Every structure is written in structure tokens, then in C-alpha cells.
Amino acid sequence: MQLINKSIPENNIQKFTFIFLPFACGYFLSYLYRSTNAVLAPYLSNDLSINAEQLGLITSAYFLTFGLFQLPLGVLLDKFGARKVQSILFLVAATGAILFSLGNDVWSLVIARGLIGLGVSGALMGAFKAFAVWYPKERLPLLIGIFMSAGGMGAIVASTPLEMALQITDWRGVYLFLGIITIFTGALIFFIVPEKQETFNQEKPLPILKVLKHIYTSYAFWRIGPLSGIAGGTGLAILGLWAGPWLSDIGQFNKVEVANILFISTIMMTIGTTSLGVITDYLRKFNISPVGVMGGALFVFIIPLTIITFGLMPKAIWPWVVLSITSLAATLAYAGLSQHFPTSYAARASTAINLICFLMAFVAQYAIGFIMQMVEPGKQSGYSIKAYQAGFGLFLGLLIICYIIFILMSIIEIRRKKLNS
């Protein structure tokens, strides 16, 4: 690939300042929006008299629009570049945030959250597209790990700092402020990030449908995608909403304690995801792939999820910390899958994984609330462990099935490589 625009930053410091940081600000906001309702849940329930199913629907609307837009997003990013696409999308997110601050019923909040999800749907993939263009593929796991820490910072702000902000204003004021900040972030990306015009010497452009068929019918996708999608989606659903109610209902913690536990968990998540990128980059020297690291980390992920699902240690904080640290291991699938496809449609390869992940997050976040409401109809809070076992247990079972399939397909892949070598 040869760059046409010679004014684009060439050294690492310039790339970090003009490419990495603006996208990191956007991803920070994306994760902040994603995680707010774990703390805001009781305030929304009290102010608007909504139950678990309705709360799940409102919060999960973010994931539905986010996920559904992944395929057109990949095409737009590959065609127009992240700068233009991101700037427009963040205006959509800002509109959604402002409308959320004005919402008075379930459906107005659902529509507003849907706009937010649509607006921030490119925050991660836009950055991945830029990184795929500017950095060697073998360094992507390290870069992604560092970048993901910006999302971790957003999750941190959505815990104790958010609870502190609610002592000054209410949830409406929080979302109005977020809407204004999102407008400024979109402007930052538009004016700071340079154009990235590319010409490809050896990569022949392919029709859109042919590219998508190539991705979705590949063995690599079906080996990596389902496990990454179910693990990432379940982690997002629980940590983005249901962690707060679980800690209150089953752990019997108060609002401040819940926020503090989420604060500790997200700090460890931020440290963990950066460390995961460093570890993956180091293990590359020993021919251990990002997908291999993902498999090991997600095996660990299953352990705390099982403990939480069955309420085995309701007062223990460590299962939530370990769950937070390992939940983002699913993102290593982006780097793992991108190595199987040319750079010319790197965004579409990454969004193929993102599509599964965020649609699963939508399904999980809503379905958990729906199942809990079915187990204990009429409740708006104070659900029992049986309700959480039913809701969480469904997705724990799916995760274990996908993990077994992943192991079996990985064994087949290893044997195939040995036969071809």
C-alpha cells in the first residue's frame, strides 16, 4: 500500500497525537455511554417506574442499533475513511444523548438510546481501520490493548465518579452534559484527524457482497466469531447493566458500595486489557497467536461468570474483578481475524465480529431482564438469586457450548496446518 497524501503524520509521536488520541476520546465516550445504566438503573426505575424487562429494553437499544449498523459501517469506513464517518456519527450520538435527557417514558428513552448506539457504533471500528492502515498487522494486538484502555477509562467514569455527579445533578443533567461533550468530540475528530487517502498496489478491490461472502464463509470467522461474540456480548450485557442490580439484590450492597465495586472492577479492567495487549505482543515471539491468548483468557472468564450466576460468593468482589479483566479478551478476535484478510477491507472483517458481539449484547441485556421478569412478575427491584440464575444461566450455557466448538475447530485447524507443512 502506498500513501498519496504526503502531509499525513509519519512518525509515531505524530500518529499518536493526531490519530490515536482523537479516536481514543471517541472510544472513551462510547464506553461511558455503554456503562452508565449500571449506576443509573435505580434512578431510572424510581423516576419512571420501570421494571427489569423495560430497563433491559432501554439499555439494550444501544446495542441493537450499534450492531445492526456494523455491516454498512464497515463499507463506509473502507470507502470514505474514519474521519468523515466518525464526525457525522458523533452528531447522531449527541442528538440521542440530548433526547435521552428529555425522555419521559420507556419508548422515548429506547429511541434516544438507539440513536446513541448508532452514533458511537464506529468509535472502535474507525480506530481499527486507521490502525490497520498505519501499523504492521503483527503489532495490532499491542496497539488495540493500549487503545482499549481508553474504553476502560470511560467505564471507570461510569462508576463512582458518575455516582458523585448524581449528587450534583440528576440523570437528565448527566446525559445533557454528555451530549454537549459528544459534539465537541466529533468536531475534534473532524479538525484534528488528517485525511488518509490510499492506493493499493497489489490488493484488487472486490464487490461488496463478494467481500462479505468471503468473510462470513471463511473457516477463520466461524472458528473465532461465535465464541468472541457470545463472550463479548454477555460481558457487555452484564457489566453494562445487570452488575449493578445483582450487587444490590444479591450482594446486598448500597448504592455507593455498588458504584465503588464497579469502580474497582473497571480500573482492573483497564489495567487488564492493556496488559493483555502487551502479553499478546510478547507471546507472538513464541508463535502464540492472538486467538490462542483469547481462548485462554475466555476460559478464565467462564469461572467468575459461573460463580456470579449461581450466587456462590455474594459478598466477594474478586469474581467481578476477574470478570471485568477477562471480558475484553474477546476483542483479540479483531486482530486475529484481520490477519486472514487484506488491508483493503480490514474494517469489514472487524465489523463482522462486532456485528455478532453487539447483537448478542442486545439480546442478552434484554433477555436477562425479560427472563427475570418472567420468573418474578410484578417486581421492579429486589430480584432473587433464582431470577438471576435463570437469566445469566442461559448465556453461561451458550458460552460453554461455543467454547467447546472453538476448541474442536482449533484442533482441526492445527492438524490441517501440520498436514500442509
Q: State how far the Cα of 44 lies from the Cα of 415, in Å rounded to an integer.
A: 53
Q: State how far the Cα of 360 lies from the Cα of 4, in Å rounded to an integer.
A: 39
pLDDT-derived band at 3 (thresholds 50, 70, 90) equals: very low
Q: State how far the Cα of 42 lies from the Cα of 39, in Å rounded to an integer.
A: 7
> Which residue, chain included where needed, has cell 461468570?
305
Which pLDDT does position 12 carry in this prediction?
67
Which pLDDT does position 283 carry in this prediction?
85
Which pLDDT does position 207 carry in this prediction?
67
Q: Is the pLDDT at 204 greater than 60, yes or no?
A: no
Q: State how far the Cα of 232 lies from the Cα of 398, in Å rounded to an integer.
A: 12
DSSP strand pairing (2-3 vs 198-199): antiparallel
Which pLDDT does position 185 carry in this prediction?
93
Which pLDDT does position 419 carry in this prediction?
81
Q: Is the pLDDT at 5 greater than 50, yes or no?
A: no
Using left for φ > 0, alpha for ψ between -120 and 50, and beta otherwise, residue 317 falls in alpha
Q: State how far the Cα of 245 lies from the Cα of 390, in Å rounded to an integer.
A: 15
Q: State how far the Cα of 366 lies from the Cα of 385, in Å rounded to an integer.
A: 18
Which pLDDT does position 210 carry in this prediction?
77
Among residues 72, 29, 57, the alpha carbon closest in space to that of 181 is found at: 29
- What mean pLDDT, rounded, does the chain reach? 86
Q: Mind listing the pLDDT tens digit for each residue in 348-373?
A: 777 777 788 888 988 999 999 999 99
> Which residue, chain included where needed, has cell 465489523?
351
Q: State how far the Cα of 375 lies from the Cα of 382, in Å rounded to an integer.
A: 13
Paired with 3 in beta bridges are: 198
Q: Mind listing the pLDDT tens digit for each residue in 133-173?
A: 776 666 666 777 778 778 888 988 998 899 999 999 999 99
Among the ranges given (69-83, 312-326, 340-354), the one the predictor scored with the smallest mean pLDDT: 340-354
Q: How far is CA 3 from CA 7, 18, 133, 136, 200, in A?
A: 10, 17, 10, 15, 9
Q: Is the pLDDT at 7 greater than 60, yes or no?
A: no
**49 CB neighbour count, 10 Å cutoff:** 10
Paired with 342 in beta bridges are: none
Q: Is the pLDDT at 73 greater than 90, yes or no?
A: no
Residue 288: exposed, middle, or buried by beta-carbon count in 10 A (0-12, 13-18, 19+)? middle
- Max Cα–Cα distance, the chain, nearest Å: 65
Q: Is the pLDDT at 111 greater than 90, yes or no?
A: yes
Q: Mind listing the pLDDT tens digit for each residue in 228-276?
A: 989 999 998 998 889 999 999 999 999 899 999 988 988 888 887 778 7
Which pLDDT does position 137 carry in this prediction?
67
Question: Could you tell me the sign of the dihedral formed by the alpha carbons of 136, 137, 142, 148, in that order?
Answer: positive
> Which residue, chain included where needed, has cell 493499493?
200
Domains and CATH numbers, the chain: 10-193+206-420 (1.20.1250.20)
**DSSP codes joined into one string, 400-421:** HHHHHHHHHHHHHHHHHHHHH-
